[in-house]
Amino acid sequence: MAYLEKSFGFSQLVAQLHDARALPRIPSSSIWLCVFGMFVLRLRSFNAIEQELRLSRRWEALVGRRKPSADTLGRVLSLMPSDQLRRFLQQIQRRAWRRKAIHPRAGEAYRVIAVDGHEIGASRARCCPECLVREVRLGQQRVLEYYHRVVVAQWIGVTPAPILDLELVRPKEGEVVAARRLLKRVFLHYSRLVDVISADALYLEASFVRLVLDAGKHVVVVLKQERRDLYRDADRLRSLIEPRLLVEPQRTSRLWDIPDLSSFTTLDRLVRVVWAEEQTRRRQILGGQPKDCVEDKTWVWVTDLPATVVPATKIQRWGHQRWDLENRGFNELVTLWHMDHYFIHDATAIVALLLTLAIAFVTTYLFYERNLKPPVRTHLTRLALASRLRDDLGLLGGASLWSAALLKPG
């Protein structure tokens, strides 16, 4: 908390939080700090945090003397406007960039954002008015399954890779529609911290690409065979161009750089296609024996950035970093931070929880990377840090971490 206070003026950000209750008995800041603490300590449910809160002279240090029940946590979160948490997250990120606590790799001038959809909490039993619904097969039967989908914007190629913002997909709308809403907000609030949007093939729609280009930003979007004209033209022109050979320790690529394609007709402007045929060497353990194998894969990307400004190798790297995000970034958030689990089934609360998770993720990561000395980190994983912080709450014996004003009922 001292680190967060010094780096981000954390208590001031917490003090600004409010919710729609008429006569709150427990201040919004206390409620939110419980949820923040729940994520930082990687607890799995509101019931788990309720059990923790019942212990005497521990959590008072963080959340104050009035401690909420699991029900209260859920009820208040569903009354918490998400814009204030978005602002909270923005303040943290902007300060972290300014202090160079978040930074791109050396020599990288562009700040690249990946936009991706992620599903949370599929259930056949429970639904809410904002649920998405699909039919699934269950043995011989067809049953309805309810779920939520969220589009997340996350920096890639930087350490750590924090979430900028997120948006729920509403019933009966496409993911790209939600992503457009998300990006409009991202451009407004993070303008100078965003240069390039990297996205999956689903996003290769003129409306999406135009929104990005009109904001003065750039796109790198995966091209799949379904976009027949553009794919076919790029493939045909490829035979006229010599590929560039790129040899890396694990991967050999042949890269074709195809400029000025006019076959993305709905976009009404020329695009460039980067085509990569890759051979990646991997070591697999099969039947207890290590075995080297080679994987062939073709990747194709569409971009507006000219080759004179951004070489094909860099387009390829950005494209892969987005894919890494899918496999590693979300993986960590799902398996270790319980991202795809409903703590409560309510659309407002789901957004509040995910934004709080984003704040907990980036702040603990920065604390770990920027504040702990390297010898301490050698024997302490970020997961172990969570249980160490839990022990520390006990050591405080309930003595408040905050000035008296913060946790007063509003």
Q: Output the smallest distance, CB 45 to Zn ion, in A.
A: 17
Residue closer to Zn ion, measured from CB, 128 or 389: 128
Q: Output the smallest distance, CB 343 to Zn ion, in A.
A: 13
Residue closer to Zn ion, measured from CB, 120 or 261: 120
Q: Output the smallest distance, CB 127 to Zn ion, in A.
A: 5
Rg (CA), the chain: 24
Quick note: the x/- pattern for Zn ion over 105-144, rule CB under 5 A, is -----------------------x--x-------------
CB within 8 A of 295, min separation 6: which ones?
279, 280, 281, 282
189 backbone φψ class: left, alpha, beta (φ>0; ψ -120 to 50): alpha
CA distance 390 to 41: 6
Tell me the sheet residues that pair with 3.
none
Answer whether 147's CB lies under 8 Å from 368's CB.
no
Residue closer to Zn ion, measured from CB, 150 or 386: 150
Quick note: the x/- pattern for Zn ion over 274-303, rule CB under 5 A, is ------------------------------
Q: Output the smallest distance, CB 144 to Zn ion, in A.
A: 12
To 5 degrees, how large is the angle CA 45–CA 48–CA 53?
125
Amino acid in the structure at residue 324: D
Residue closer to Zn ion, measured from CB, 125 or 240: 125
Quick note: the x/- pattern for Zn ion over 4-43, rule CB under 5 A, is ----------------------------------------
Residue closer to Zn ion, measured from CB, 128 or 372: 128
One-character DSSP codes across 260-326 = EE---GGGTS-EEEEEEEEEEEEEEEETTEEEEEEEEEEEEEEESS-TTTS-HHHHHHHHHHHHHII
Q: Output the smallest distance, CB 109 to Zn ion, in A.
A: 42
Q: Output the smallest distance, CB 130 to Zn ion, in A.
A: 5
Q: How many CB atoms lie within 10 A of CB 56?
A: 10
Residue 163, both tokens: 């979430």
Q: How many CB atoms lie within 10 A of CB 284?
A: 10
Q: Output the smallest distance, CB 171 to Zn ion, in A.
A: 9
Residues that bind Zn ion (rule: CB under 5 A) add up to a total of 2
Residue closer to Zn ion, measured from CB, 128 or 336: 128
Q: Output the smallest distance, CB 184 to Zn ion, in A.
A: 24
Q: Output the smallest distance, CB 173 to Zn ion, in A.
A: 15
- Between residue 246 and residue 265, which ones bind Zn ion under the rule CB under 5 A? none
Residue closer to Zn ion, measured from CB, 122 or 131: 131
- Between residue 224 and residue 243, which ones bind Zn ion under the rule CB under 5 A? none
Identify the DSSP state of 191.
Answer: G
Residue closer to Zn ion, measured from CB, 119 or 248: 119
Cis before 160? omega within 30 = yes
Residue closer to Zn ion, measured from CB, 82 or 364: 82
Answer whether 113's CB lies under 8 Å from 192's CB.
no
Residue closer to Zn ion, measured from CB, 54 or 341: 341
Identify the DSSP state of 142.
Answer: E
Kind of pairing, strands 196-199 and 158-159?
A: unpaired
Residue closer to Zn ion, measured from CB, 2 or 143: 143
Q: Is 336 in the site for Zn ion (CB under 5 A)?
A: no
- Pick from 391, 339, 384, 379: nearest CA to 360: 339
Q: Output the smallest distance, CB 244 to Zn ion, in A.
A: 48
Answer whether 7's CB lies under 8 Å from 101's CB.
yes
Secondary structure class of 119 (helix, strand, coil): strand
Amino acid in the structure at residue 397: G
CA distance 332 to 152: 15
Q: Which residue has the tokens 């529609």?
A: 177
Q: Output the smallest distance, CB 146 to Zn ion, in A.
A: 6
The contact set with Zn ion (CB under 5 A) reads 128, 131
